[in-house]
């Protein structure tokens, strides 16, 4: 696919939080990463407000395993700590495919639309493990990005059935990407086939709920380094 990148991300733990489990202060992870979590990983590799990353698919390489830990979250309104149990995914590894498109809702950034150079910088960013720290759902779960190793065997490669994962959060609609003055949450019903989950595009989600009113942050040429300048720095 045009302007695409592929990479592997792995880590000891991951916590792609199911919002339902946050009510009591304890967290439990979805069995697989959400679209929004993977988009965050891609944006940690390379991002500018000129572009929008679209996650195409994820391949689950390791078996899905859970591990619960006793955590003492900080009480910010007192000197005491709470005790909570978080259920993490353990020993995770994924292959991710994504591509970028220009954000045509941001006409103020039209000067920065250089497809070839954005793509080259993104591919080089994958090779060095990303430009920012990578987290697997939450900050305490460090992730590591590497180029894909051809021929990597996945745990679910030979499983012939479909694994229905129920209703999950797909992601969040932000005003600078949709042109709307509001934030929205998207839901969907993913299906895993032989370890692969193919994501629908954000605009194809039919279950959408408004969160709050919001507006995009304005940018100008003085607020952003052009891709040409970045390209020169990398050479």
Mean pLDDT for all residues in the chain: 89
Q: Band of the pLDDT at 219, cuts 50, 70, 90?
A: low
**202 is written with which tokens?**
């954000």
- Structure-model confidence comparison of residues 36 and 232, the more confident one: 36
Taking the model in full, what pTM does it have? 0.87
Give the C-alpha separation, 95 to 66, whole Å. Answer: 19
Q: What is the pLDDT of residue 22?
A: 74
Q: What's the pLDDT tens digit per position in 156-212?
A: 999 999 999 999 999 999 888 888 889 999 999 999 999 999 999 999 999 999 988
Q: What is the pLDDT of residue 118?
A: 94
Phi, psi (deg, nearest 5) at residue 143: -115, 160
Residue 109 near residue 101 (C-beta atoms within 8 A): no
Determine what percent of the chain is predicted with pLDDT higher than 90: 66
Look up residue 179 and give its DSSP letter. Answer: S
Mean pLDDT of 54-78: 90
Q: Band of the pLDDT at 151, cuts 50, 70, 90?
A: confident
Position 63 pLDDT exceeds 70: yes
DSSP 30-41: -SS--HHHHHHH
Q: What's the pLDDT tens digit per position in 75-118?
A: 777 777 778 889 999 999 999 999 999 999 888 888 889 999 99
Give the C-alpha separation, 155 to 159, whole Å. Answer: 8
As a CATH number, domain 4-233 is 3.30.70.2660
């Amino acid at each position: 696919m045009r302007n695409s990148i592929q990479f592997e991300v792995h880590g000891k733990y991951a916590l792609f939080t199911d919002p339902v489990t946050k009510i009591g202060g304890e967290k439990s992870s979805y069995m697989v990463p959400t679209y929004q979590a993977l988009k965050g990983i891609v944006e940690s590799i390379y991002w500018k407000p000129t572009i929008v990353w679209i996650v195409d698919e994820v391949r689950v390489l390791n078996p899905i395993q859970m591990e619960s830990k006793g955590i003492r979250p900080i009480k910010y309104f007192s000197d005491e700590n709470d005790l909570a149990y978080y259920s993490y995914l353990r020993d995770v590894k994924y292959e991710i495919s994504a591509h970028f498109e220009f954000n045509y809702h941001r006409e103020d950034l039209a000067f920065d639309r250089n497809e070839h150079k954005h793509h080259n910088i993104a591919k080089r960013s994958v090779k060095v493990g990303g430009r920012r720290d990578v987290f697997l759902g939450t900050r305490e779960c460090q992730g590591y990005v590497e180029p894909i190793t051809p021929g990597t065997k996945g745990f679910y490669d030979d499983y012939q059935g479909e694994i229905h994962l129920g209703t999950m959060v797909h992601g969040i609609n932000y005003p600078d990407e949709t042109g709307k003055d509001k934030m929205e949450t998207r839901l969907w019903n993913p299906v895993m086939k032989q370890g692969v989950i193919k994501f629908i595009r954000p605009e194809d989600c039919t279950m959408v709920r408004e969160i709050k009113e919001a507006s995009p942050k304005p940018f100008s040429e003085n607020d952003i380094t052009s891709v040409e300048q970045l390209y020169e720095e990398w050479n």
